[in-house]
Chains A and B, each alone.
Chain A
Amino acid sequence: MGNPLLTVKNLSAWYDRGKMVLDGFSLELAAHEVVGLIGLNGAGKTTFLKILSGLLPSFRAENILFRGQPVNLRKRDFKTSRYTVFAEDDSFPYFTFREYLSYVCSAYEKDIPDVSELVHGFHFENDADTLLKDLSTGNRKKAFLITAFALQPVLLFLDEPVNGLDFQSTEYLYQQIARYKEHGTVLFSSHVLESITLTSDRVFVLENGSIRQTFERGQIDAANIREALRYEHDI
């Protein structure tokens, strides 16, 4: 792994007092890599992504470094370096996709990019001018994914990006994730093994709020990961 882009050391998080969701969680992300998070329900994947998105205040960590410097996850510098696509998102229901893209670009202080290729790739042409609230779950997910790939942040967090997508869009998504290394780093969680094995450079298997096993490039294999998850389940 090259120089770490993001370092998280000994992260603990909780929702209710005493109920730890993440416990001593440590992870390093290098620039220009794709990292997959996999684990059973409740392992802490979404919580981790929510913390990195600045949405969960109840956590403590020994260190969170971005490009080697301590970072406040709620400050503009870090916020403009990352974008998250959440597993379920009903935000800005009265914007169309194009308006949402324009709104997000202005928040990130970027010009509106040309998204025609992404819109075509995700088969989204007919829905680009429909209010987000009137889109189906899958199409709404596409709107946020297109925004994410168009925005090209240094860090892209995707929480279960495959859920709700049709198979053509899923395959297109895999291509986009794999190609994203040119622009930045992708950290994504998924329950679909295929999405992890086809795109990731590294895979973390989460168990009870900490990383139980790491698979490096060359070791990433569906059978190995399945075995790790089964072991976790049997325990």
Chain B
Amino acid sequence: MNMIFKAFAKKLFGVKCEKLKRTVFLCLVVFWGLYIADWKIKIAPSVLYLMASAFTGGVMWQALTSKDNAASMKNLFMLPFDRRKFVFSYVAALGAYTFFTKTVMLLAVVWAVAAWNPVEILASILCATNAVLMAAVMYVFRKYWYVGVPWAAIAIIVILFSGNMPWFVPFCVANAVLAFLLLQNADAYSFYPQESGLGHAGKKHVRHSVWRYFFRYMKCHKNYLANTAIMWCVGLVLPLFFRQVWGSFAAFIGFAILSLNTPVCILLSCEPALEQAVRFLPCQKKAFCIPYCLFIFSCNMIANAIYLCSTQLLNGGVTPATVAAALFFALQSAVCSVLLEWFYPIRDWKIESDLWHHPRKYAVPAGLLLLAGAVGTWPALVPVLMGLLATEVIILLVGCWNSD
């Protein structure tokens, strides 16, 4: 195994591959848990291949765009190195990390709940490998995006519509070989993240505004912005899916789903220096945590408002109680997210991709989903929960003003 691969693999998997062991263990637990539960669904091969490809490609892209490898890369670039060896070692390390820590978990779930055969297993592994290589090529040659985007679109169409065809496997192999050949010409330096920024902040401000800070944060993290926009779009179309079953249960489930805008909920985990500053400066619960809570609440509430407007237009039946429930879910999500960030920030992540797929990130939406189920089944719980939330907010506000 060459040294470049080893260097990146150690960073990504841990010195003794502890991350790999943990993931394999988790996969086995998840697989056997679901397998024994004997909960079966039917998944078409094309959907399985599309999931394996899109998920792996997406995670690989996140890993490639992450700035956390920049320091290791800088050190390696300082030394004389073989360009091609570097490219393949780096892609192999990131690809192995993506496959063995992320894709395997998805496949474990899918294989546990769906019937499968060896051909499908091999084909989905092939799809994942293909996605890794394609993502690497598209990242390296990103300035030719006008070629890369149609290439990805063609791959998706082929996977979706010809997953059962006999020529599907040769197509994937040919695509992977093409990506491999293109990588042969890749420049190693193109993996090094480029510095980009807003430069001067535009209008000069003498006074601070934490909200302005959050907006700049979103502006600089386009994927977080996109995620927020996607959640708002989901709010728009969700009533279409709930048309037949509209009622308080569907409304609550919708609010819980719309709280899935998790990237905006990990600001402190994302930036350890900011976390240090927020802990070290005085009065930060009031100065930082409350505006942060209101920011998350606003993002969630906009999604909920779009959802309610869309529901009223399509299905009707939105009542003041539904609006109150929307406020409840948006605020509860914000409060819980900020509390988690304050007391249990995600630490010791290797690259940003670990952070984005950390289970802790989904704790709040999962909790809200359970709550939605409970409240939907027993609507009498709504006033109780509103009372609890009001108490919670009062405790937090009083605590913020008096402590720290």
Contact = CB atoms under 8 A, between A and B. Distances in A.
Interface of A: 53-55, 74-76, 79-80, 84, 86, 88-96, 98-100, 102-104, 106-109, 112, 129-131, 133-134
Contacts of B220: 94, 133
13 contacts: A74-B404, A91-B273, A93-B271, A95-B213, A98-B206, A99-B201, A106-B208, A129-B204, A131-B199, A131-B216, A133-B220, A134-B197, A134-B198
Interface residues of B, number: 32
Given A130-B200, A131-B198, A79 B206 contact: no
Nearest to B286: A107
A131 B284 contact: no
A98 B200 CA distance: 12
Contacts of B208: 95, 99-100, 102-103, 106
B274 A91 contact: yes
Contacts of B277: 89, 91-92
Given A54-B279, A84-B280, A99 B199 contact: no
B404 A79 contact: yes
A41 to B, nearest CB: 19
Nearest to B217: A94
B384 interface: no
Residue with the highest number of chain A CB atoms closer than 10 Å, among B220, B278, B280: B280
Contacts of A76: 282-283, 403-404
A107 B213 contact: no
Contacts of B271: 90-91, 93
Interface of B: 197-201, 204-210, 212-213, 216-217, 220, 271, 273-274, 276-284, 287, 403-404
Closest 9 CB pairs of A and B: A91-B277, A79-B282, A90-B273, A94-B216, A103-B208, A102-B208, A99-B208, A134-B197, A91-B273
A129 B280 contact: no
Residue with the highest number of chain A CB atoms closer than 10 Å, among B201, B210, B220, B403: B201
Nearest to B283: A107
B291 to A, nearest CB: 11
Residues of A contacting B: mostly: loop
Given A76-B282, A92-B213, A134 B199 contact: yes
Contacts of B276: 55, 86, 89, 91
A108 to B, nearest CB: 6
Given A54-B279, A98-B204, 16 more contacts: A54-B280, A55-B276, A76-B403, A76-B404, A79-B282, A80-B282, A86-B276, A90-B274, A93-B273, A94-B213, A95-B208, A103-B208, A104-B281, A107-B284, A133-B220, A134-B197
A109 B198 contact: no
Nearest to A88: B273
Nearest to A99: B208
Contacts of B281: 79, 104, 107
Contacts of A91: 271, 273-274, 276-278
Contacts of B212: 99
Nearest to A90: B273
Residue with the highest number of chain B CB atoms closer than 10 Å, among A88, A100, A103: A103
A164 to B, nearest CB: 15
Given A90-B271, A95-B208, A107 B279 contact: no
B279 A55 contact: yes
Contacts of A84: 280
Contacts of A112: 206-207
A53 B278 CA distance: 11
Given A54-B279, A91-B273, A94-B217, A102 B199 contact: no
